[in-house]
């Protein structure tokens, strides 16, 4: 895989900062990621950012189908040529943040397994996107920057704890499987990476009556994470009931606490206490 540098040169390509391209050049790491993903013969895999297709071809040897989504038009055409003789690989040009997964889900008639080396600049919005579309996926095996992985597993009271921690943990079983040194990529990033594996739960960790409202409350609180809960909610723009402090007291939450101190269960209790307000 060290030849990726040579291959890029032969195609007259250089990694694009615009799309956060960092190509994995360590074969041992690639194989370890695939083992971590636990891909089987009946699985349909969605690969994000396949690049020159090294992982794509390796996944295709184990999966029923690989759908590789690439935003770079030049890489898309190269990849289509490289996998032309591999019938169980489909290459799609597109922005993963804008793709409607429902047609893929309906066509394949099964949840997709995601395996991806995520571009750093879209890793957080893409994680939120995957969680919102969780009914279309079974597992996610992702390479991303260590700091994002740390936020995903963060506990209440820590500086890394926030909406990403809450939504990921509420809807999935998550583990950081291993870390990757920058030298495993070309060009070399300035930060360590981590491989995480998410398995979506059949039901949320805590029962939700209104998931959409819960998301609004959590995001509203953390938009002002340095304020107290009471002030954060007042500045959130959410339609709030009168007697806000009293409602919080009823569910055992001190309004002077800061958002990052609340557990997931407490956020659920908080959102439910505020829910009987007409929504716009």
Confidence of residue 28 (pLDDT cuts 50, 70, 90): very high
59-68, 136-145, 187-196, range with the lowest pLDDT: 187-196
Mean pLDDT of the region 127-148:
96
| Cβ atoms 264, 253 nearer than 8 A | no
CA–CA dist 191, 189 (Å, integer): 6
Helix spans in the chain (H)? 4-10, 27-37, 54-60, 73-82, 101-108, 123-132, 146-152, 163-171, 211-222, 229-235, 244-250, 264-273
Spell out the domain ranges in the chain. 4-200, 211-273
State residue 13 phi and psi, 5-degree precision. -110, 145
* Angstrom distances, CA of residue 220 to CA of 17, 148, 181, 278, 279: 32, 21, 36, 17, 14
DSSP conformation letters of 31-84? HHHHHHHT--TT-EEEEE--TTSHHHHHHHTTSSEEEEEE--HHHHHHHHHHTT
9-23, 30-44, 205-219, range with the lowest pLDDT: 9-23
Q: Does residue 280 register a pLDDT over 60? A: no
CATH topology of domain 4-200: Rossmann fold (3.40.50)
Confidence of residue 279 (pLDDT cuts 50, 70, 90): very low
Confidence of residue 271 (pLDDT cuts 50, 70, 90): very high
Mean pLDDT of the region 66-89:
94
Quick one: what percent of the chain has pLDDT higher than 70?
96
- The class level of CATH for 211-273 reads mainly alpha
Any residues with CB less than 8 A from the CB of 142 and at least 6 apart, and which? Answer: 114, 115, 116, 117, 118, 123, 127, 195, 196, 197, 198
pLDDT score of 15: 66
Quick one: what percent of the chain has pLDDT higher than 90?
79
Mean pLDDT of the region 82-91:
96
pLDDT score of 276: 67
| Cα four-point dihedral sign 151, 153, 156, 159 | negative
């Amino acid at each position: 895989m060290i030849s990726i540098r040579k291959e890029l040169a032969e195609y007259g390509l250089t990694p694009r900062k615009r799309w956060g391209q960092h190509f994995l050049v360590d074969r041992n790491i690639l194989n370890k990621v695939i083992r971590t993903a636990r891909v089987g013969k009946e699985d349909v895999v969605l690969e994000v950012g396949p690049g020159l297709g090294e992982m794509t071809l390796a996944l295709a040897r184990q999966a029923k189908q690989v759908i590789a989504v690439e935003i770079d038009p030049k890489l898309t055409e190269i990849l289509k040529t490289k996998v032309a003789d591999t019938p169980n690989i489909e290459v799609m040009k597109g922005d993963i943040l804008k793709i409607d997964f429902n047609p893929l889900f309906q066509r394949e008639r099964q949840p997709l397994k995601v395996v991806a080396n995520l571009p750093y600049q879209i890793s957080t919005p893409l994680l939120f996107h995957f969680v919102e579309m969780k009914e279309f996926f079974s597992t996610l095996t992702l390479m991303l920057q260590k700091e994002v992985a740390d936020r995903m597993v963060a506990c209440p009271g820590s500086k890394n704890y926030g909406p990403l921690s809450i939504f990921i943990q509420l809807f999935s079983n998550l583990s950081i499987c291993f870390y990757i040194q920058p030298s495993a990529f070309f060009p070399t990033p300035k930060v360590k990476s981590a491989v995480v594996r998410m398995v979506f739960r059949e039901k949320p960790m805590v029962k939700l009556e209104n998931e959409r409202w819960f998301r609004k409350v959590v995001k509203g609180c953390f938009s002002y994470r340095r304020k107290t809960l009471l002030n954060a909610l007042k500045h959130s723009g959410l339609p709030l009931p009168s007697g806000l402090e009293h409602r919080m007291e009823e569910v055992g939450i001190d309004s002077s606490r800061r958002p990052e101190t609340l557990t997931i269960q407490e956020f659920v209790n908080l959102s439910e206490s505020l829910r009987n307000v007409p929504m716009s």
